[in-house]
Amino acid sequence: MFQSRPAVGVQLLNAPRLEIDIKRIEHNTRILVGELQTHGIGVTGVTKASLGRSDIANALLRAGALRLGDSRIENLETMRGAGVTAAMSLIRSPMPSQVHRVVRVADTSFNTEIEVIKQLSLAARSAGRRHNVVLMIELGDLREGLMPIDVETTVRHILRLPNIKLAGLGTNLACRSGVVPNARNMTELSMIVNRVEATFKIKFDIVSGGNSANLDWAMSAENTGRINDLRLGESVLLGREPLNRTPIPGLYTNAITLVAEVIESKLKPTLPTGTLAQSAFGEQSAKIDRGTVAQSILAIGRQDIDLPGLTAPAGIKVLDASSDHLMVTSAHCLRIGTEIAFQIDYSTLLRTMTSPFVHKVLAEAKPRGWGTEKVWREAG
């Protein structure tokens, strides 16, 4: 939808902004937690796309997430500082320069290098703590993970380290190469788990099968094997599965919306004039002449968004963007100050949440007499 700015006396909000409906995020999480429980799988709520916001973290926990996971130690520290006491996992291999921060803040870290785990051991010993490690295995997507042939040798080294507990094994698919989680690769993970447990006479607490891309497999599998954890971020925040970005039945796809404001609106030609070179982003113009159109500029740009990640409302078409300007077209020139609400994908969510120039507002319960409109407050 798009609309003019509200009249004087009605709630005014800064733009651009993300409108975050915590109750819808909680709903999405609760639905997925319930469905996965029937398959023997728990949920790690991933907070990296929300920049470690404690309000979103607490919504995930209220809805039944067993623990929180983030790829940045800074986000885990933010949540700890805000009083979040849940179990937390660093789901990217720690940097050696941060091992002391990791053992202080994270209960668990996902690892692939024995040298890093040795440093975690030293840091944990120095801090008088015991740190849990999940060892990640490469199963085809070619991001992080040991090759399966190297797992047992690495496990043998880990079990000798003081102040380290090998809590489990895991894998990650679909993020780099788009490899689909399926019966073959998930069965392979379960087989590795069984073999390692039998060889070393241990029992793993966590077998983390992957992320939101695993949902189709998990919901349809007759047997999920040893997998007892999935790390969910995109599905609970945006209500979509990452393989094809299709909406998940029963979930909200508009729990988070991006709103931007029109700052220019004019009739302009669709073809540039003059000698053309590269744009500011190294692109060559390949535009088609569609004559004169009603072009509006919104006060947001590529510093804040990933352009392909925007879905405009009906009647609005996204044309292009520079670092600070987003160009759209519509049937008629839009009024200055008109606000346009976009649906966003995961990549744009990451950028907008990280951008200090995009305000974050939370939905609140409506005071009596406010009608059907949501009430929003600026988030800290």
DSSP 328-369: EEESSPPPTT-EEEEEE-HHHHHHHHH-TTSEEEEEEPPPTT
What pLDDT, on a 0 to 100 scale, did the predictor assign at position 289? 79
Q: What is the average pLDDT score of the chain?
A: 93
Domains and CATH numbers, the chain: 2-17+254-378 (2.40.37), 22-238 (3.20.20.10)
Return d(Cα 46, Cα 238) in angstroms, integer.
13
Q: Exposed (0-12), middle (13-18) or buried (19+): which is 149, by Cβ within 10 Å?
A: exposed
Return d(Cα 188, Cα 183) in angstroms, integer.
8
Residue carrying the six token digits 């440093």: 119
Element containing residue 34 per DSSP (H, E): helix 22-37
What pLDDT, on a 0 to 100 scale, did the predictor assign at position 6? 46
What pLDDT, on a 0 to 100 scale, did the predictor assign at position 273? 86
What pLDDT, on a 0 to 100 scale, did the predictor assign at position 131? 98
Q: Exposed (0-12), middle (13-18) or buried (19+): which is 369, by Cβ within 10 Å?
A: exposed
Return d(Cα 244, Cα 242) in angstroms, integer.
6
Query: 321 with 306: CB under 8 angstroms?
Result: no
- Which portions of the chain are predicted below pLDDT 50? 4-10, 366-371
Q: Name the pairing type of β-strands 88-90 and 67-70.
A: parallel
What pLDDT, on a 0 to 100 scale, did the predictor assign at position 3? 54
b/e string for 53-67 if b means 16 or more Cβ within 10 A? bbebbbbbbebbbbb
Which pLDDT tens digit goes with each residue over 310-324? 999 999 999 999 999
Reported pTM: 0.92
Residue 219 CB partners (closer than 8 Å, separation 6+): 35, 36, 39
